[in-house]
Amino acid sequence: MDIGLYRSEIQKLIQDIQMSRGKDPKRTIASCKELEQYGLSQNDNALIGFSRFSLGETYYLMNDTASFYREMIMCLEPLKSIKEWGYLTMANNMLGIMSLNRGNAPFAMDYYMQAIHYCQEYSLPDLEWVVHMNLGNLYLNIGDPDSAIESFENGYQYINNHPDSDNYISTLTAACVGLGKAYLDMGEVNVADEFDHRLIRECMPKLVPMEKLVVYCFEARLYSEQGREEECKKCISLIKDNFNEEVPVLDVFDDFHDYMKMLLDMELYDEFLEILNLMEPPTKRAGIRNLEKKLLILKMKRFKSIGDEESYGKGAIQYFEIDQLMDQETGMMIANTIELRSRLNELANITREVEIANRALQMKSETDALTGMHNRLKLSEYADEAFYRSVKNGVGFAIEILDIDYFKEYNDNYGHQAGDRCIRFVADAIMSLQAHDGVFCARYGGDEFTIIYEGYTDEEVFKIAQELKEKIVSANFEHKYTKLVTKTLTVSQGIYWSIPEHGQSPWNYLHAADTLLYKVKKRSRNSIMLGHVIDGEDDDVITEDGE
């Protein structure tokens, strides 16, 4: 935009926005609104698009998601009309980031694909690498490290070829951490270590304390995997000492989320609580339900690990409430996207490319990468649909939660690769149940799996569950480190069945099944416990096969 075309008062407004953007939100917003009104009065799309984009960017930095979406969507048409491809790229990139933070990976992919299209069509390599970096984070989120590496490499190569660019060290840090995390997720610890060496050698001496936090989170995970306990503890201490209220939570959430999962896996519950208490307030202020939900899942995992059933039950209710609010947010996102699509005719040129990418992404986002079975995202969608049908048809509905007995001992002694093979073996056995109509299977997380039975009696459900148990036991899958007599792989199963009614939800059943599994684990292993409602009274049934 050539500001020399405007009179001095308008030039001053534009300069004021450029100077205050990212530093003084109130001043920026006031100047943007004044400039927008003038642009509307003159029908000047350059001023309208610039002011709305700057407003959206400011709301993004303020974590005001509703205002951000409104302004960013509204800036797209005027920017397109004046062929401001750079601003359009940045707008779509930010829309992608926010969509991913709110838990909608397909929407994020749509925006990133549009941004990359602009970059390739109008030769904007200085922006394209930024989009690829964010695309790498998206793939990490959905458990596809191979695709993440490919995207991060695009950004990494550009950064390496432009050492004189602004913020070179910060961008190199982001690329090294992204690639390091992706290789760590693939189990290629030595490759991840190479990126850590570059971070230590070139980046760390020049980073401010807040920028170092992301590196510490990555290094803590890396050193834990390498068994470098003292160095891991040092990172944990540095993270606690350097975290403060000024940390940009939206920019570092995924790094801290992975770090907090590591703390739980290491059973460092006090350290976990310290970081959780620091992360929760800014996350709630951001108002992004998906991020709150992710923290809640970690809290519930801790409750389960320490046997706090009461807190776990309260967390399950809170989880359901957040899930409902997220559905409302998704509705708003859909409405915004419909408006976007109706107002930007150029999308027709890339519709096929986007649809192909979205179909592939949708499958990835609903599928567990290790086992190939459905994941929790698909479970949530299917559970609601199946429960509604059961209420409508007045038929039985049951949810089973199953986990592998003494899996930690298996994983610790046989190694992670063998642990993955063990999980795949159990997953294959579970998926064979889908030969029965109305049976749905998903990996719930770690060594836990969930099965939904729709339209069966309690006896039929119990029979199918026994069929699964016998299939796993009869395979004689070696597990020398189990504490059971068999020294082969076994599973424990908790199931809750009844004929559902209006006012209930599948998450009530999920919580009840989880409680039954907890009872199985306390009393014995290699057992099935089915809780059901008959004539309004709860009853529990346990097989005689437990040890």
Q: Which residue's structure tokens are 């989170």?
A: 217
Q: 261 CB contacts (<8 Å, ≥6 apart)? A: 298
**pLDDT higher than 50, residue 351:** no
Q: How confident is the model at residue 460 (pLDDT cuts 50, 70, 90)?
A: very high
CA–CA separation, 311 and 296 (whole Å):
11
- Residues 48-102: pLDDT tens digits? 999 999 999 998 888 777 788 889 988 999 999 899 999 999 999 999 988 888 7
Mention the CATH class of domain 376-542.
Answer: alpha beta
Tokens of 432: 């064979």
CA–CA separation, 117 and 80 (whole Å):
13
Q: 429 CB contacts (<8 Å, ≥6 apart)? A: 468, 471, 472, 475
**pLDDT higher than 50, residue 521:** yes
- Residues 386-439: pLDDT tens digits? 999 999 999 999 999 999 999 999 999 999 899 999 999 999 999 999 899 999
CA–CA separation, 528 and 139 (whole Å):
37
Q: Which residue's structure tokens are 């519930």?
A: 300
Nearest to 283 by CA among 295, 272, 300, 273: 295
Residue 395's Cβ-count burial label (10 Å; 0-12, 13-18, 19+) is middle
Query: Is residue 386 a contact partner of residue 440, using CB atoms and an 8 Å limit?
Result: yes
- Residues 245-261: pLDDT tens digits? 666 677 788 899 999 99
pTM, to two decimals: 0.61
Distance between start and end Cα atoms, the chain: 75
- Each domain of the chain, given as residue ranges in start order, spans 1-76, 376-542
Phi, psi of 525 (to 5 degrees): -125, 180
Containing H/E element for 304? Answer: helix 289-306
Q: How confident is the model at residue 350 (pLDDT cuts 50, 70, 90)?
A: very low
